[in-house]
Amino acid sequence: MNDTRTKLAVEAGFLFQQKGYHGVGIAEVLERAGVPKGSLYHHYPNGKADLALAAAEIAATEVLRIIDASFDGARDYAYGVTTFCYKLAKYFDIHEGRIGCPVSATLHGGPDNAAFRDALSNIFARWMGRIAHYAEGFGQTPDAAAQSAKRLFLSLEGSWTLARARGDSNVIRQLPALVC
């Protein structure tokens, strides 16, 4: 297990989420991580693209963790959604309101290739699947659960966009009232 490798992806993710793939220079990532260039290309032979995919994967996993933490102790679906949105709003505030969906901000606007699109598509599917899983657990039929998950996901992506434009996380906090 290598600390440098992870640190690079984490710091790169932090920057990608704010400025997008093309908005971040390798030099900036290296400076933030306190790592020389040689190490980057040792751990990520394909350079920036590898770094972005790794950063997106880390962010994706973190969001799944937040979903679990939000729904596990929830008394019903709406309660879980509310907790989830509040946690995300807090995450948004940590980045000082200059962030969109951590995954799409990182991968959209990157090189227009199949690898990036597939990664995005898969991550989104995993998120919706996990939310649907919890919705089913609260008694919804599979179809209804999938629909609930999709409704939440789509609005959430939009909320991130609007929250970022306004620099105000309340858009995210008010989401449960809109979709439940």
Catalog residues that contact a second copy under the rule CB under 8 A. Answer: 18-23, 98, 100-101, 104-105, 108-109, 112, 117, 120-121, 124, 147, 150-151, 153-159, 161-162, 164-167, 175, 178-179
- How far is residue 134's CA from residue 64's CA, in Å, rounded to a whole number? 12
Residue 25, interface with DNA (CB under 7 A)?
A: yes
- Using rule CB under 7 A, residue 147 touches DNA: no
With CB cut-offs between 5 and 8 Å by kind, which of DNA, a second copy, none does residue 141 bind? Answer: none
Residue 35 interaction partner, one of a second copy, DNA, none, beta carbon < 5-8 Å per kind: DNA
What are φ and ψ of residue 177, in 5° steps? -65, -25
For 156, residues 6+ apart whose C-beta sits below 8 A from its C-beta are 85, 88, 101, 172, 175
Our CB check for a second copy shows the closer of 137 and 158 to be: 158
Of 148, 143, 137, 126, the residue nearest 81 (C-alpha): 148
> Per CB under 7 A, which region of 40-48, 82-90, 114-122, 154-162 contacts DNA?
40-48
Distance between alpha carbon 144 and the CA centroid of its chain, in Å? 24
The contact pattern for DNA, residues 106-135, with x = CB under 7 A and - = no contact, is: ------------------------------
Question: What does the alpha-carbon distance between residue 62 and residue 27 come to, in Å, rounded to a whole number?
Answer: 26
